[in-house]
Structure 1
Amino acid sequence: MSLKHESPYICTKRKCLTVTLDVILVGSVALCAGLVHQLMTPYHRGFYCNDESIGYPFHSSTIPSSVLYGVGFGLNFLLFFIIEALWLPKTTDEWKSSSSSSSADDHENHNSPEKAPSRLIFYLCAVYNIILPFLFGAALEFLARGLTKYLLGRLRPHFLSVCQPDPSTFNCSTGYIEEYKCTGDPDLVYQARLSFPSGHASFSVYSMLFLILYIQARMRWRQAVIIRPWVQLILFLMALYTCISRIFDYKHHWSDVLAGAIWGILAAVFVVFKVSSLFPRSRYICSPSGFHHTFTTKL
């Protein structure tokens, strides 16, 4: 009994189910991350009265969270849409040859010619196969970072200035102070207990490194010899400046920023090399059936 070849461009029940499952899994990780930030409370950590590392003044952020996430998501999405349009095969013949070369075994018992998909289908499929892994990594980064922040409850460098502890509720001569009452703004005090790791450093490094690696994989045409490293350098400097700003704004200790940057690097490398499959040298194949179906190895 011969099996009929299943086109990667037709929305069969199996492919629709796979795509739906991918989206649900990404959404589940994002939901868990949101619940962590909504339901958990920071660990109530004490302090030493002579601890100068938490006695810095409070300053507003040089890079607010709205700018961080607006640029991190907006710039990535913008370049994904632009570069995928430029990188897309130009002719229908290229798409047909890619399909036939990638699935010769599957076509062994398939005699009817397959109608070439439209350029729009290829484009949307390519964008999907980049954006979904990126969102998965962002959700994973947000979840791990949130759990660490709330479980450790490390005090920010400006903790004492926003807490303004009531001196009548503790005695510095006892050493480590665990029982104290903050008289400052409750919201600022709450945030001042979430120092480790730096969320700004983690997300900025993740989003910019993902984009740097994405550009390295996609911008392979001859004209990109100088443009590619120039753009990558700008992205690197954006992430670096974000990390440094968290230190001179007294929002984080240097170790918080370092830990956040390391986690951002690990998340980006994991998603790029283990989820999105951007780097195998291959011909273009677009299959909207999950993270790992964008490429097929060239023989």
Structure 2
Amino acid sequence: MRCASARFLRHAFDLLLYTSVAAALALTLLGVVNPASTKISCDDPSIRMPYSGDTITVTMLIVVTLIVPFFVMTIVEWAVPPSGQGSPPLREGLSRSWSYTGDIFVGGLFMFFLNDLAKTTVSEPRPHFWDTCRPNITAEQCRQPFVILSWRDCTNPLKQSHPRLIDSMKSFPSGHASLSVFSSIFMMVYIKQRIWGRSSRLLAPWIQLLWAVWTLYCCQSRIADNRHHWWDVLAGGILGAVSSFLTVRLFSVILFSFCKSFVCYYYVNIIFALLDIYLVYILPYIYFQLFYIT
């Protein structure tokens, strides 16, 4: 009875902590906590891009970050049971995949809170800031090297809601990049531990490649949609990679359930994931920006 009470109190306390983080995140996302003042230059072409919406919507991002991993891990847990066990029923596979999805949710929640806290604090204008905000400033102010603005200076020509309007001042770092990289690296590590060497030699790399392609497409779309600068995507990706590392290292049971040591090819996974997702992509993009855009 005492053990049951202690377990209940522990779960209740955990729920309270999760709820507090989710509530704080909601305050920033809904615009209850507004971003700090931002500094712009009227002649800066990087904030005068047209607003074109999102290729990867928030709904699509959540589906690929949480729901798709759950179904993938359910199939893996049912079809490829842990070593030393017989073929488990679907119920056991669902239980394990639900636990791993919880790891993604909790780690992603804390990571995204830090991401949006940085957005609100840094208050960097997005590439479409001028198109969305159209600040009410004079020609004399524009002759100054920099102008300090808040969301109250926006004329809001597109008639955006308040959360969307202040979102034009929350470019750094990219939330899409951080979430997509976070879930992709988590799933790459999971696939490595659960499938590699236990079935087709190419199945695990093929699935990992799909996650890498998804992340590349998501990150590239944020730049192509004029929603982020390239450094926002890079910073968001680094935040997602570090958060995924901490989630797997300190929170998730993936490694410790199926491996006898923490190494378990994890560092190899991280190195190749970062090389595939960033270095091969970011360096050519930086080169293109520096030498081909005048």
Give yes or no for contact 1:197–1:256 (8 Å, CA) kept in 2: yes
Query: Which of 144, 154, 157 is 2:127 aligned to?
Result: 157
Moved more, 21-30 or 201-210: 21-30
1:131 counterpart residue number: 101
1:77 counterpart residue number: 70
2:142 counterpart residue number: 172
2:285 counterpart residue number: none
Query: Which of 21, 25, 29 is 1:37 aligned to?
Result: 29
1:234 counterpart residue number: 210
How far residue 90 of structure 1 moved from its aligned partner, in angstroms, is 9.3
How far residue 25 of structure 1 moved from its aligned partner, in angstroms, is 3.9
Alignment of 1:1-299 (within 5 A): 12-38=4-30, 39-88=32-81, 94=85, 122-123=92-93, 125-168=95-138, 171-178=141-148, 181-183=153-155, 184=157, 185-187=159-161, 188-280=164-256, 282=258
SS of the aligned residue for 1:225 comes to: coil
Alpha carbons of structure 1 residues 237 and 169: separation in structure 2 relative to 1, 3 Å: same
Moved more, 173-182 or 11-20: 11-20
CA root-mean-square deviation:
3.0
Moved more, 217-226 or 15-24: 15-24
Q: Amino acid of the residue matched to residue 199 of structure 1?
A: G
Q: Amino acid of the residue matched to residue 227 of structure 1?
A: L
Separation of aligned partners in 2, 1:146 and 1:162: 20
**TM-score, scaled to structure 1:** 0.74
* Structure with larger RCO (C-alpha < 8 A, sep 6+): 1
Moved more, 205-214 or 221-230: 221-230
Could you list the runs of 5+ residues in structure 2 that have no partner in the other structure?
Answer: 261-294
Give yes or no for contact 1:196–1:256 (8 Å, CA) kept in 2: yes
Deviation readout 1:108-147 (Å, 9 max, x if unpaired): xxxxxxxxxx957744542343122211111111110110
Moved more, 130-139 or 78-87: 78-87
Q: Based on CA coordinates, which of the two structures has the bigger radius of gyration? A: 1
SS of the aligned residue for 1:178 comes to: strand
**TM-score, scaled to structure 2:** 0.75
How far residue 254 of structure 1 moved from its aligned partner, in angstroms, is 0.6
